[in-house]
Amino acid sequence: MIELINENTIKLSKEINDLDKFVFDFVDILKKHTNYIIISGFISILFGRSRGTEDVDILIPEVSKTEWTKINNELFKKFECLNCNTSEETYNYLADGLSVRFARKGEIIPNMELKFAKYDIDNLSLKDKIKVIIANHELFIGPIELQIVYKKKILKSDKDLEDAKHLEIVLKDQISQEKIKYYDALVKELWKKR
């Protein structure tokens, strides 16, 4: 069951799966230090899409090396980075606009693909984030209308179009058509500027 609490909060009743548990564990650490949003495929999966994923995309605002070291050190207690070994390396990757992948220690899948917000569209997503309440957990995701527009107008792969269609149907009562129009115009503009 999906319930719109207010413009920026959705309550979702669902059985929590192992991918959800992985995401909750990761963001429980992250949220102590920084804002974040989950974007892309996991949003469709969170709302019921009949597929899994190996990786979950997550954006955080750009932070200083000192701040990142604190975050990284705490993440390293439970997770390992698949593509870097040290805090310095992960920071350098992030600062270069690349992503770093964190999995539970000794595992590869699932993993969180974390990036600094780099483009205007990333920062817009962070600003307009949506809180999703699931039992006693909270997650922040990018705005659903923006996800739909981005998947339909920019990414356009079969998987993205299917994800967008799923969200459009499942969240028919929650989606704002005004926001769809707003993001549609904005995405076209911001995409050109990238």
Partner 1 sequence: MEKALNRKQRMDFVEQWANYVRENKDWSSQQARLINSMLDNSKKSLLSKKEYLEIKNKV
Interface residues with partner 1 (CB under 8 A) are 1, 13-19, 45, 47-52, 54-55, 82-83, 101, 107-110, 158, 161-162, 165-166, 168-170, 172
Q: By C-beta, is 158 or 178 nearer to partner 1?
A: 158
Q: How far is the CB of 66 from partner 1 (least distance, A)?
A: 28
For 171-182, b/e burial (b = at least 16 CB within 10 A) is beebbeeebbeb
Q: By C-beta, is 16 or 185 nearer to partner 1?
A: 16
- Token code pair at residue 59: 């954006």
Q: How far is the CB of 120 from partner 1 (least distance, A)?
A: 26
10 Å CB burial of residue 5 (0-12, 13-18, 19+) is exposed
* SS3 of 100-127: EEEEECCCCCCEEEEEECCCHHHHHHHH
Q: By C-beta, is 49 or 115 nearer to partner 1?
A: 49
Q: How far is the CB of 189 from partner 1 (least distance, A)?
A: 29
